[in-house]
């Protein structure tokens, strides 16, 4: 049934895959699926419920609903592996051209999904429900959670590769093509998969935000725990380290390229002025013999002579006394035909 449904919708260009992570949402999931039935009536879609074998059997309720509605698929994972990993497993299993993620506890307004999808249709790469743009809010959160969220958001914004107000939200829609780009670098631990995505997207990614008012939970409990906060802290440290290494790599590359260009600029005129030495073997012999003759006559060491340029009838040299005394460096010309030396004072 699901397969026929997908085959049908895959003939259309816009197919939405909505991922619903669930853990102990038995009291919420039926309402949500029913509401989504109405909201998504005009959009070809599939819904993927990813449940971590909830003790309250959320997976069972979702499976029963899926038997009535072919576009629902249930991924039941036998161990609790966390929210981000549930989202990534759902996104990996999705067939849609547009991918969406939302909470399953009713705290995200399902109607907003239409605005987010519309933004993608209008050309956005990612569109997110934001609590921190005008019109959005965190609802009735207690003061401590507000503060933690604000502090976390402050740091997370600095790790996003595109400007964003609310990188820690859980309600977002993105193009499959964007997901494919970021997928290899995703490290799905903890709760904050959106941050992981935003820290990996190309800089030119077009992101839009739609105001989201975070609703009260009507049933069940939040799974936000100390463990989740610690995972978030580790995520921030890991992503900061990654962007630091990237910066080092980039600045290292720039330094390396600058050195190469400077060396080339310094070397090129020298190679040009000595090119006869490399291209003409007879010239090499003439230069060698003239240098030896002059050095013997003047009592110079060959190692104290620096070749500056070679032409067909003369060579320009610098002579530096090997004793490194106060004697100045002299620029001289050796005439090849007569092996004579002239050094203007």
Alpha-carbon distance values, 38 to 33, 114, 154, 284 (Å) = 9, 11, 37, 88
Q: How far apart are CA 266 and CA 253, in angstroms?
A: 20
Residue from 17, 66, 107, 235 touching ligand GDP (CB under 6 A): that is 107
Least spacing, CB of residue 105 vs ligand GDP, in Å: 5
Q: Which residues pair with 51 in a beta bridge?
A: 22, 76
Binding flag, residue 80, ligand GDP (CB under 6 A): yes
107 binds Mg ion (CB under 5 A): yes
Work out what residue 229 binds among ligand GDP, Mg ion, none; the CB cut-off runs from 5 to 8 Å by kind: none
Contacts (CB under 5 A) with Mg ion, residues 176-205: none
Which residue, 179 or 232, has its beta carbon nearer to ligand GDP?
A: 232
For residue 51, the SS3 value is strand
153 binds ligand GDP (CB under 6 A): no
Note whether 104 binds ligand GDP by CB under 6 A.
yes
Residue 21 contacts ligand GDP per CB under 6 A: yes
Q: How far is the CB of 170 from ligand GDP (least distance, A)?
A: 6
For 111-140, b where at least 16 C-beta lie within 10 A, e where not — what string? ebbebbbebbeeebbbbbbbbbbeebeeee
Q: Is 23 in the site for ligand GDP (CB under 6 A)?
A: yes
Which residue, 96 or 190, is less far from Mg ion as judged by CB?
190
Residue from 76, 157, 176, 223 touching ligand GDP (CB under 6 A): that is 223
Given the rule CB under 6 A, which of 104-112, 239-247, 272-280, 309-317 is the region that contacts ligand GDP? 104-112
295 vs 271: CA distance, rounded Å: 24
Q: Beta partners for 213?
A: 137
x-or-dash string of contact with ligand GDP, 163-182, rule CB under 6 A: -------x------------
Least distance to ligand GDP, CB of residue 7, Å: 27
User: Closest separation between CB of residue 108 and Mg ion, Å?
Assistant: 8
Is 222 a binding residue for ligand GDP by CB under 6 A? The answer is yes
Of the candidate residues 1, 151, 216, 224, the single one contacting ligand GDP (CB under 6 A): 224
Query: Which pair of structure tokens corresponds to residue 122?
Result: 């209008």
3-state secondary structure of 16: strand
Q: Say which entry of Mg ion, ligand GDP, none residue 50 contacts (CB below 5 to 8 A, set by partner kind).
A: ligand GDP
Q: Residue 209 binds which one of Mg ion, ligand GDP, none, with CB within 5 to 8 A depending on kind?
A: none
232 makes contact, choosing from Mg ion, ligand GDP, none, with CB < 5 to 8 Å by partner type, with none
Length of the chain: 345
> Which residue, chain included where needed, has tokens 């997928």?
183
DSSP state of 183: G
Q: Does 205 bind ligand GDP (CB under 6 A)?
A: no
Q: Are 56 and 159 in contact (CB under 8 A)?
A: no
User: Where does 79-225 have alpha helices with state H?
Assistant: 83-93, 112-121, 143-159, 176-182, 193-198
Integer angstrom CA distances of residue 254 from 62, 249, 258, 260: 54, 9, 6, 10
Phi, psi at residue 263, to the nearest 5°? Answer: -65, -45
**Strands 314-319 and 305-310, bridge-based pairing:** antiparallel
Selected range binding Mg ion among 100-108, 273-281, 314-322, 331-339, rule: CB under 5 A: 100-108
Instruction: Round the CA-based radius of gyration of the chain to a whole number and report it.
Output: 35
Which positions lie near ligand GDP, rule CB under 6 A? 21-23, 25, 50-52, 80, 82-83, 86, 103-105, 107, 170, 222-224
Which positions lie near Mg ion, rule CB under 5 A? 103, 105, 107
């Amino acid at each position: 049934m699901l397969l026929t449904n997908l085959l049908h919708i895959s003939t259309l260009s816009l197919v939405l895959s909505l991922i619903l992570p669930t853990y102990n949402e038995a009291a919420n999931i039926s309402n949500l699926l029913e509401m989504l039935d109405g909201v998504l009536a005009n959009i070809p879609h599939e819904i993927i419920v990813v449940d971590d074998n909830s003790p309250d059997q959320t997976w069972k309720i979702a499976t029963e609903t899926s038997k009535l509605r072919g576009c629902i698929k249930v991924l039941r994972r036998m161990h609790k592996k966390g929210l981000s990993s549930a989202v990534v497993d759902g996104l990996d299993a999705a067939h849609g051209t547009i991918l969406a993620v939302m909470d399953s506890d009713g705290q995200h307004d399902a109607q907003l999904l239409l605005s987010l999808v519309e933004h993608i249709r209008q050309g956005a790469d990612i569109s997110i429900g934001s609590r921190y743009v005008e019109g959005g809010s965190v609802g009735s959160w207690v003061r401590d959670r507000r503060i933690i969220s604000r502090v976390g958001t402050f740091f997370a914004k600095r790790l996003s590769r595109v400007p964003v107000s609310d990188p820690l939200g859980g309600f977002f829609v993105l193009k499959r093509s964007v997901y494919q780009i970021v997928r290899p670098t995703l490290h799905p631990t903890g709760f904050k998969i959106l941050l992981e995505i935003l820290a990996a997207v190309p800089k030119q990614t077009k992101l839009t935000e739609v105001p989201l008012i975070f609703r009260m939970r009507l049933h069940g409990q939040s799974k936000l725990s100390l463990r989740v906060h610690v995972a978030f802290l580790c995520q921030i440290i890991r992503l900061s380290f990654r962007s630091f290494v990237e910066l080092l790599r980039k600045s290292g590359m720039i330094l390396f390229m600058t050195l190469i260009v400077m060396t080339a600029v310094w070397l090129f005129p020298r190679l040009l002025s000595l090119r006869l030495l490399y291209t003409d073997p007879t010239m090499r012999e003439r230069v060698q013999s003239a240098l030896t003759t002059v050095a013997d006559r003047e009592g110079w060491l060959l190692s104290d002579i620096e070749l500056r340029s070679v032409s067909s009838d003369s060579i320009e040299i610098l002579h530096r006394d090997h004793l490194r005394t106060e004697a100045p460096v002299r620029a001289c010309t050796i005439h090849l035909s007569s092996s004579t030396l002239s050094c203007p004072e």
